[in-house]
Structure 1
Amino acid sequence: MNPLSHVAIIMDGNGRWGLKNKNSRNAGHKAGLITVENIIKHSIQRKIKFLTLYVFSTENWKRPKSEIEYLFALLEHFLKKKIGEFDKNKIKLVVIGKKKFSNKLNKLLSESEKITKNNSKIQINLALNYGSRSEIIEAFNKLYKKKIKINERSVSNSLYTKNIPDPDLLIRTGNTKRLSNFLLWQLSYSEIFFSKKLWPEFNEKDYDNIIYEFRRIKRNFGKI
């Protein structure tokens, strides 16, 4: 049985679900938040220590302005409503990516991290304005400026995820099979599962089925 410490998820399919069921992409993003809450709770039940969610990529700025504004308003509402509950339940919140949002959202994100920083039941990493290529380039630039020798350890220690173990498991919903510039360095030996379900349709049973399959895989890490 493979140990499972860190799960990363590309939550794909909100917009398509919204158009299909409510004729609105924004309705899909709202529905997707319910799945987020359910998966967080289920991760705690399964004693998973790290959960990384791909919330907003550096490429997502290409979306319509109205949709971007709705996404950030939804995130603000979610944090204001849930951060006290997160702290009570010993959930730690960490943002990976560049905080280049409104002053209001930047402050809320920083406050959420500060409030929950000493919690240890599970760490939720929100990948916001995150792009793996820019993260890696930034890491190389840091090492170059500090004249630190470039090797696997020094690069890993210069990433946004420097104090986070690499994901054991990556799940992508939405019936799309690509990584979309997500944790390219960190996923080098992760097991990858693609689900046909759109993110708002993904449930605890789907999650358990993937975890079950993950635990049965023979993981060689280059060995026989």
Structure 2
Amino acid sequence: MPTGGDGLAVPRHVAIIMDGNGRWAKKRLLPRVAGHRAGMEAVRRTIKAASELGVEALTLYAFSSENWRRPETEIADLMGLLRFYLRREVADLDRNDVRLELIGDWRALDPDIVGDLEAARTRLADNRGLTLVLALNYGAQDEILRAIRTIAADARDGTLDPDAIDADAFDARLDTAPLPPLDLVIRTSGEQRLSNFLLWQSAYAELLFVETLWPDFDRAALEQAIATFGRRERRYGGR
């Protein structure tokens, strides 16, 4: 695991539950979409900071499978911001050597968004810097069920010996299979739950819940989170 300038370990894979956009807007007597727009700026800052600090993979919980329960107007605003982000930011991501991965049932989004996601992933595929992972239409329980169905089908077809099913076989069938193991999960806004995010992968990840609302999250907040991670002793159940 790499170390930072202070000698503390830098997590290879950081995941963030970006919470608090609505509360940020409410505090300022603004519509919720203003909070989501400010949250996009926090995304830009955090990608840049993670890359500069030596993080290998950054997974952002961009749109959960449960978010479809929100008002239609808010969903439309979120999808519009996603379109805008993809079309505006991909060139900058490319310049900064960022690679893009996608997890979740993202192909169920609107066809034009799916096309933009595929185009962005193709354009950034050969980059070797930070891997940015967008969790879109993602739910961990759904991911686990899809992996189970794949394992069941492989066992039925005779391509997988049931006695060979272990944690590694399961990991290989998750959306996150190409990524480094998850080291640190950060949730902003003071809420202390995982909200159906990377449940299997979080088994021995460090969890950090911070009061900062997502639109206020910045490089200093990420540096502090990484420093907290570096001071923790990871035991993996060994003692």
TM-score by length of 2: 0.91
Spell out, residue by residue over 1:153-204, the C-alpha distance to the aligned partner (whole angstroms, 9 max, x if none): 1110000011112211110001100000000000101000001111011221
1:101-142 CA-partner distances (Å, limit 9, x unpaired): 111111001111111011110000000000000100100100
Counterpart of 1:69, as a letter, is A
**What residue identity is the alignment partner of 1:183?**
L
Q: Please, which of 34, 38, 41 is the counterpart of residue 48 of structure 2?
A: 41
Contact 1:14–1:32, Cα closer than 8 Å, also in 2? yes
Q: How does 1:168-207 map to 2 (within 5 A)?
A: 168-207=183-222
Structure 2 residue aligned with 1:133: 141
AA aligned opposite 1:198: L
| Segment of structure 1 superposing worse, 185-194 or 81-90 | 81-90
1:1-224 matches, cutoff 5 A: 1-98=8-105, 99-147=107-155, 148=160, 149=162, 150-224=165-239
The 8 Å contact of residues 10 and 54 in structure 2, kept in 1 or not, is answered as no
Cα distance in 2 for residues equivalent to 1:84 and 1:7:
23
- Measure, in 1, the Cα distance between the counterparts of 2:145 and 2:120: 27
Structure 1 segments, 4+ long, off by >4 Å, are none
Q: 1:203 & 1:123 partners in 2: Cα distance?
A: 19
Deviations 1:47-99 (A, max 9, x none): 11100000000000000011101101111111101101111211011110112
Tell me by how many angstroms 1:3 deviates: 4.2
Count of aligned residue pairs for this structure pair: 224
Q: TM-score normalised to the size of structure 1?
A: 0.97
Please say if residues 166 and 187 of structure 1, whose CA atoms lie closer than 8 Å, have aligned partners that are also in contact. no
Listed as ranges, the gaps of 5+ residues in structure 2 are: 1-7
Give the gaps of 5 or more residues in structure 1.
none
Aligned equivalents of 2:177 and 2:226: distance in 1?
Answer: 25
Identity of aligned residues (%): 38
Compute the RMSD of aligned alpha carbons: 1.0
User: Match of 2:59, SS?
Assistant: strand
Distance 1:115 1:22 in 2: 39
